[in-house]
Amino acid sequence: MIPVVSAPTERAVNLADVARLAGVSPATASRALGGHPHVAAATRERVLRIADELSYVVSPDASRLAGGRTGRVAALVPHLSRWYFAALVDGLAGALRAAGLDLLLHPVGDADDRVEYFRRLPARRAVDAIVTVAFPVDDAERERLEGLDVTVVAVGGQVGSHPFVTIDDEAAGRQAVDHLIHLGHSRIAMIETLDPEQRGDQPAGRRLAYERALADAGHPLDPDLDCTVEWGGEEGADAMARLLGLRHPPTAVYAHSDEVALGAVRTLRRAGLRIPADVSVIGIDDDPLAALTDLTTVHQPVREQGTLAGHMVATALSGSDPGPGIVLPTRLVVRGSTAPPRGLR
């Protein structure tokens, strides 16, 4: 379980505190404090009032380049062409640009890239900070990064005790699985994904959510319903086909991500099954294509995570404390792919 930033007690007030008390996202709080457009006047006033009450001060240095440094920040990105990674980087790039910092893209998509990257790392010293973009590093790699003596920030995950912005994967998974359980499903399959190019030290929050939600509801865990595949829509489609071949197929499917869920949807449609009348499907992410395909999912604020990570980098480079980390909330988005199982309607 990822620690959630709580009340500002023993430490300096940070942006997350202001946002939480103002009842807005940290991204909105940041925009309000920064005087950006597209923030409602009432919201801006509330954020400024809270910031004032908490004596929160935007560091004057946080928005410009600290002197004597390179002005460059490297982002380690495994899979830029997937929406989630691209949206994280998009938010990050915008925030860094606003702070006068340039973003270097360091692709580390496959195992070879990764080994090569860390081998050559000392030569990469010409940056002020490194941001790991949903990229789990192992202890040896973390020590390599730390040996560079630059700021390290993690987005979409955590790296040691470095500042981070992420979501609580287990909480997101619980929102998804609990929704299916509340609808009356008990035979719920999980299509979990693993990235074969990455080490196995990824947070298993989405899997834990499945196991715990079923246990809490008193439903048995059926190993036949627990699929683990590589990430991707085609892989989700194959997993769904395997599930349909079971003697007792599931009445609902919980997929690791929206793209995997859409693969499952394609298989169901090809089999002539109706969604959600015959089978319910839920994803996680709220990728823009989820809205287009009427997929029920759990929304996570992706671009905002990147933006906040950029703010943290700028804050740290200005010599201020970016705070320990931010866990942004997720929320269930009910669309047309989930409904009670047939017997209950």
Tokens of residue 188, six digits: 């719920």
Task: Give which of 168, 70, 76, 158 is closest to 113, Cα–Cα.
Answer: 76
3-state secondary structure of 103: strand
For residue 233, the minimal CB distance to its own copies (Å) is: 4
Q: Toward its own copies, which CB reaches closer, 17 or 141?
A: 141
Name the phi and psi angles at 54, rounded to 5. Answer: -85, 0
The site string for its own copies over 96-115 (x = CB under 8 A, - otherwise) reads: -x----xxxxxx-x---x--
Q: Which span sits near its own copies by CB under 8 A: 50-58, 85-93, 161-169, 249-257?
A: 85-93
For residue 81, the minimal CB distance to its own copies (Å) is: 4
Positive or negative CA dihedral for 11, 146, 307, 325? negative
Tokens of residue 266, six digits: 């394609």
Q: Toward its own copies, which CB reaches closer, 187 or 266?
A: 266
For residue 79, the minimal CB distance to its own copies (Å) is: 8
For residue 200, the minimal CB distance to its own copies (Å) is: 23
Contact 57, 63 (CB under 8 A): no
The site string for its own copies over 236-275 (x = CB under 8 A, - otherwise) reads: -x---------------------x--xx-xx--x------
107 bridge partner residues: 77
For residue 127, the minimal CB distance to its own copies (Å) is: 9
Number of neighbours of residue 58 by Cβ within 10 angstroms: 17
Please, which of residues 113-132 interact with its own copies by CB under 8 A? 113
Please, which of residues 162-201 interact with its own copies by CB under 8 A? none
For residue 12, the minimal CB distance to its own copies (Å) is: 30
Any alpha helices (H) in 107-255, and if so which ranges?
Answer: 111-119, 139-147, 169-182, 205-217, 233-244
Written as one string, the DSSP assignment of 222-291 is -GGGEEEEESSHHHHHHHHHHHHTSSS--SEEEESSHHHHHHHHHHHHHTT--TTTT-EEE-SB--HHHH
Q: Toward its own copies, which CB reaches closer, 104 or 332?
A: 104
Residues near its own copies (CB under 8 A): 72, 75, 79-83, 85-87, 89-90, 93-94, 97, 102-107, 109, 113, 232-234, 237, 259, 262-263, 265-266, 269, 288-289, 291-294, 303
